[in-house]
Amino acid sequence: MNPLRHDFIASCVGQQQQQQQAQDHGQDQVQKGGGGLRYLDVGCGGGIFAESLARTIHTPGTNTNACSLLAIDPSPVMIELALSHARKDPTLHQHLRTGAFEYRNTSLEDLTASASTAGKFDVVTLFEVLEHVDPHHSSPRASVQRCLDLVAPGGWLVGSTIARTLPAYVVNQVIAEAPWPIGVVPRGTHEWSKFVNPEELRGWVEGEGGGGEWRCVGAMYAPGMGWRMVPGAESWGNYFWGIRRGGKQD
């Protein structure tokens, strides 16, 4: 699904916005080592998306225009696995050494507790996280609020999740968690009651100060073709979403 993630991010930030952000950052660009967007990947796990984005750092012509990436996860095991894998790639290893790319074992709650991170990132990504939030420790809505606090004015909070519908239950729980060779994930990976409908999510982000442009598009897996964006499918299955935080960057 990584190519779709990159494409959706690009559809949100857009080349014109990237150029405007680079101008608005002004002197801060010198500190960041050149123009580009500052990314935060929340719930990075083993680094599947983070690695793909980190390879584009300071690479001309990429549609995500990244200049830095911080990837966080509360699991020390996942962070160690991600680091071990990234160090085998010369490009990623170099970005880790320079600090342009960083894996950090921390929770979203702890990161937002630091005043130094407020409004720091141009793009915050939250891929396949909301449907796994533990209700004993947080909530999807609270997670969205914390992420928005980390987005710079004019920046984007981008994610993907699953709509709470009957088709989604059949595909993501009944089929995906079926015994081998049909199933592809362990039983118990998903819980239908934790799925979030697009209209709920939009209400949360707009109610919590998103205040800007909203984007949403469905995603479907086609055997032999992989994942594809399908406008309109967001109302019953997997979907990408994005909200641009209101205001203008300093």
Give the tens place of pLDDT for each residue, 190-226.
Answer: 787 889 999 999 998 887 666 678 999 999 888 788 8
Position 27 confidence tier, pLDDT thresholds 50, 70, 90 = very low
For the chain, the structural domain boundaries read: 2-24+35-163+194-244
Position 25 confidence tier, pLDDT thresholds 50, 70, 90 = low
pLDDT in the model for residue 29 = 44
Instruction: Report, as an integer, the average pLDDT of 68-96.
Output: 98
For residue 193, give the nearest of 168, 218, 230 by alpha carbon.
168
Q: Is the pTM of this model over 0.85?
A: yes
Position 64 confidence tier, pLDDT thresholds 50, 70, 90 = very high
Lowest mean pLDDT among 35-44, 91-100, 112-121, 231-240: 112-121
Angstrom distance (rounded) from CA 86 to CA 93 = 6
Q: State both tokens at 229.
A: 């964006």
Tell me the β-bridge partners of 39.
69, 123
For residue 141, give the nearest of 224, 209, 83 by alpha carbon.
209
CATH architecture of 2-24+35-163+194-244: 3-Layer(aba) Sandwich (3.40)
